[in-house]
Amino acid sequence: MRVSDAITAQLYPYEVDMLLIEKACIDNEMTAAEEYFADMKQGVAKATITVLRHLIVLQSESNGGYSLSYDIEALKERIYNLAKDNGLTDIAEEYDRRSHIIDRTSIW
């Protein structure tokens, strides 16, 4: 299995252009054609999150008589779960939709 295959598997059911996957790999210091190993899991998760972020911005697309639309909240939840499952806490916190309680007793 190649790195691009691992990213494609994590993106399922979303399909994206291979150039987007290749760029995400380069941005995360990998190549799409290299062999995937378990120690690359976090890098592959980062690349997958990069691709999913592009889908959030896109929202919908049309091509050759068919159209696709994306559930933005579901994409954000997918990013959150990928980040949380791979120890990417900074990204997970950014996409965490749960309520947060802020202690304001020490403001004064």
Give the single-character DSSP code of 36.
Answer: P
Give the per-residue pLDDT at 60: 65
User: Is the CB of residue 76 less than 8 Å from the CB of residue 49?
Assistant: no
Tokens of 78: 């997918």
Instruction: Show pLDDT as tens, one digit a residue, over the chain (108 residues).
Output: 999 999 999 999 888 999 999 999 999 999 999 999 999 999 999 999 999 998 887 766 666 776 777 788 889 999 999 999 999 989 988 888 775 566 666 665
Give the per-residue pLDDT at 107: 61
Domain boundaries, the chain: 3-59+69-94
User: Judging by beta carbons within 10 Å of its beta carbon (0-12, 13-18, 19+), is residue 7 exposed, middle or buried?
Assistant: buried
Which pTM does this prediction carry? 0.80
